[in-house]
Amino acid sequence: MNDSRRRRTAAASCLAVTGVLLAAGCGGEAAGSSTESTSLKGAPVKVMVWTPEDTQGSAQPGVRLTAQAYEKWINANGGIKGGPLKVLTCNEKNDPDEAEKCAQQAVAEKVVAVVGSYSLAGDRYMPILQKAGIPYLGGTGVSAAEFSNPLSFPVNGGTPVVFAAHGQQLVQEGCKKISGVRYDVAAAAIVSQFLTLGAVSAGGTPPKDLKVPVTSTDLAPQVAAATKGSDCVDVILGTHSDLFVTSYVQSGAKTKLGSVVGNLTPQLAESTGGANSPLEGSAITGYYPSTSDPAWKDFLAAIKGNKDIDPTNGANGTTWVAFKVFTEAVKKLPDISAKALVRELDTTTGIDTGGLTPPLTWSASTALPIKGLDRIHNATATELTIRDGKIEWAKPGSTFVDVRKMLTAMSSG
């Protein structure tokens, strides 16, 4: 990618870490759905997925591809109560107006749910879905409305949970002086807030907050500032974390690196030396187990051979988890409808995701007691690392880390 395009895309792509066919770009039944299985005789179960594609911002085509892979996989394995799952897709193009049109299309198509999607425009699409009674199941935790609207059912804790857990992980792994490097935009400020919460709660000192201009392509000055006087650097630049790593390698610095999943990727580790990469041993915090965990076996089987789907991408993983939750929930319904699904999700005592998350519940008693974050029910994260160029569990026998008490203490304090 040339420098001019990096400058055009940096501002939008950095938002992905906080914390995503009609002429207008939505997908109707004919063009936006994979071919349904003709062997399934039950009534089709229709859902919608939207995500930004073909955009100068942070494109997430893997979300659509993962949804379509699930559609094919579940239909080959009995479908939904004997009927085929039909996935309609919509390109929201990182444009709030297009996201609103996607929601309007979901209403017009009378979908049962919007599942596992990615968008920053929750304040635009959630009111439309809420008015129509359509649940938003999954999402990627990058929009404030996902954490507050009663028809949003997130399967993870988004930015607040993962960055609080990350600050804690860094300190527990011996980081005494941390520098956090993020883009200089208001939407990224929440990252610093929760990173600091995690570090301080674990007994560390507040990380140094370093802001990168969105037009920067040579991050040598930021590398120098971040590594000076620090023993760990947290790289929070989304899909442009490679800019920092390139300058870091050129500087010869040895300061330990870390980040949340989706920033320091296996692909970046492979391109900088694999097992000999400077990313080797980096502390990575995620929402789910590493992809080598048996819990992902169906996902890996469903996407086998599809090089366009990165299984380590958090948005892709969230989409798969959301579809598993959807399938488990609708199996319990006598008649499948959006209204019945909302009632089931609101009252379930725990949906099993096969080890990809703890059992999921959205009852009032399990809500995070923080205004604006009260749709967060799953406050867990996973502590991972880059080992031999791959993201693995940080330690043998690792499991989910719950930061609910930490976040609740922040609210009460």
H helices of 258-333, where?
A: 266-271, 297-302, 314-330
How many angstroms separate the CA atoms of 123 and 121, rounded? 5
Helix, strand or coil, per DSSP, at residue 385: strand
| DSSP class per residue in 128-183 | HHHHHT--EE---S-SGGGGT-TTEE-SS-HHHHHHHHHHHHHHHTT-SSEEEEEE
Pair 202, 123 in one domain: no
Assess contact for 201 and 409: CB atoms under 8 A: yes
pLDDT per residue as tens, the chain (413 positions)? 444 444 444 444 444 434 322 222 333 333 355 444 458 989 999 999 999 999 866 789 999 999 999 999 999 999 999 999 999 999 999 899 999 999 999 999 999 999 999 998 999 999 999 999 999 999 887 888 999 999 999 999 999 999 999 999 999 999 999 999 999 887 788 899 999 999 999 999 999 999 999 888 899 999 999 999 999 999 999 878 999 999 999 999 999 999 999 899 999 999 999 999 999 999 999 999 999 999 999 999 999 999 999 998 889 999 999 999 999 999 999 999 999 999 999 999 899 999 999 999 999 999 999 999 999 999 999 999 999 999 999 998 899 999 999 999 987 65
C-alpha distances out from residue 319 to 67, 101, 151, Å: 7, 21, 17
Pair 45, 134 in one domain: yes
Q: The domain that contains 277 carries what CATH number?
A: 3.40.50.2300
Pair 119, 26 in one domain: yes
How many angstroms separate the CA atoms of 100 and 74, rounded? 29
Pair 192, 142 in one domain: no
The pTM of this model reads 0.88
C-alpha distances out from residue 321 to 126, 154, 283, 349, 404, Å: 20, 10, 23, 17, 21
Pair 231, 147 in one domain: no
Pair 311, 408 in one domain: no
Q: How many domains does the chain have?
A: 2
Assess contact for 339 and 133: CB atoms under 8 A: yes
Pair 169, 301 in one domain: no
Pair 387, 270 in one domain: yes
Pair 165, 105 in one domain: no
Unique residue bearing structure tokens 């980040």: 259
| DSSP class per residue in 44-95 | -EEEEEEE--SSSS---HHHHHHHHHHHHHHHTTTTBTTB-EEEEEEE-TT-
Unique residue bearing structure tokens 């026998």: 397
Residues contacting residue 180 through CB under 8 Å, at least 6 positions apart? 191, 192, 195, 207, 208, 209, 210, 233, 234, 236
Pair 20, 79 in one domain: yes
Pair 281, 338 in one domain: no
Pair 327, 248 in one domain: no
Domain hosting residue 186, numbered range: 159-286+381-412
